[in-house]
Amino acid sequence: MSQYPLREHAANTLRAHSNRPLHEISAEAVGAGEVSGADLRIHADTLRQQADIARASGFPQLAANLLRAAELSDVPNDELLRIYDMLRPERASYAELTRLADYLEATYGACENAAFIREAADVYRERNLLRR
């Protein structure tokens, strides 16, 4: 993979989740109080690039996971924890899960995650894993 590692071969194009270029995130900038946690978070585009690398190297499931991750990049921390909890056994009804899928798709364009959650809802219904 010619681009991998991105830190070495594509450092000039890398940006943080905050859109801040990597090269601006220096020790001096941290010392001056100009760097926040969001400046040290991965950008969705980078996750997609890593997904491409994984797929091209023969790891398609990892690639799919990284694509789902890219879609979750803008989802706030608390919301991620809440969604995770809803997917645990017997936490949500079928309707709640499909509403969650619709919400993720509409709000974040998270099509892959939405499909994944709809699939889960179907299986949960068959296997008695919905809230009783």
The distance of closest approach from Cβ of residue 63 to another protein in the complex, given in angstroms and rounded to an integer, is 8
User: Which CB atom, from 72 or from 105, has the smaller least distance to another protein?
Assistant: 72
The distance of closest approach from Cβ of residue 17 to another protein in the complex, given in angstroms and rounded to an integer, is 8
Judged on CB neighbours under 10 Å (0-12, 13-18, 19+), 3 is: middle
Q: Residues in the site for another protein, rule: CB under 8 A?
A: 1, 4-8, 11, 14-17, 22, 25, 27, 30-31, 33, 35-37, 39-43, 46-47, 49-50, 53-54, 57-66, 68-73, 75, 77, 80-81, 83-85, 87-90, 113, 116-117, 119-120, 123-124, 127, 129
The distance of closest approach from Cβ of residue 11 to another protein in the complex, given in angstroms and rounded to an integer, is 8
User: Which CB atom, from 26 or from 106, has the smaller least distance to another protein?
Assistant: 26
Instruction: Locate all alpha helices (DSSP H) within the chain, ordered by sequence.
Output: 6-9, 27-31, 44-56, 60-72, 77-87, 94-108, 111-126
CB 90 within 8 A of CB 129: yes
**Tally of CB atoms within 10 A around 108:** 17
Distance, CA of 73 to CA of 50 (rounded, Å): 14
Residues near 59 by Cβ (< 8 Å), separated by ≥ 6? none
User: Which CB atom, from 65 or from 98, has the smaller least distance to another protein?
Assistant: 65
The distance of closest approach from Cβ of residue 106 to another protein in the complex, given in angstroms and rounded to an integer, is 18
User: Which CB atom, from 106 or from 122, has the smaller least distance to another protein?
Assistant: 122
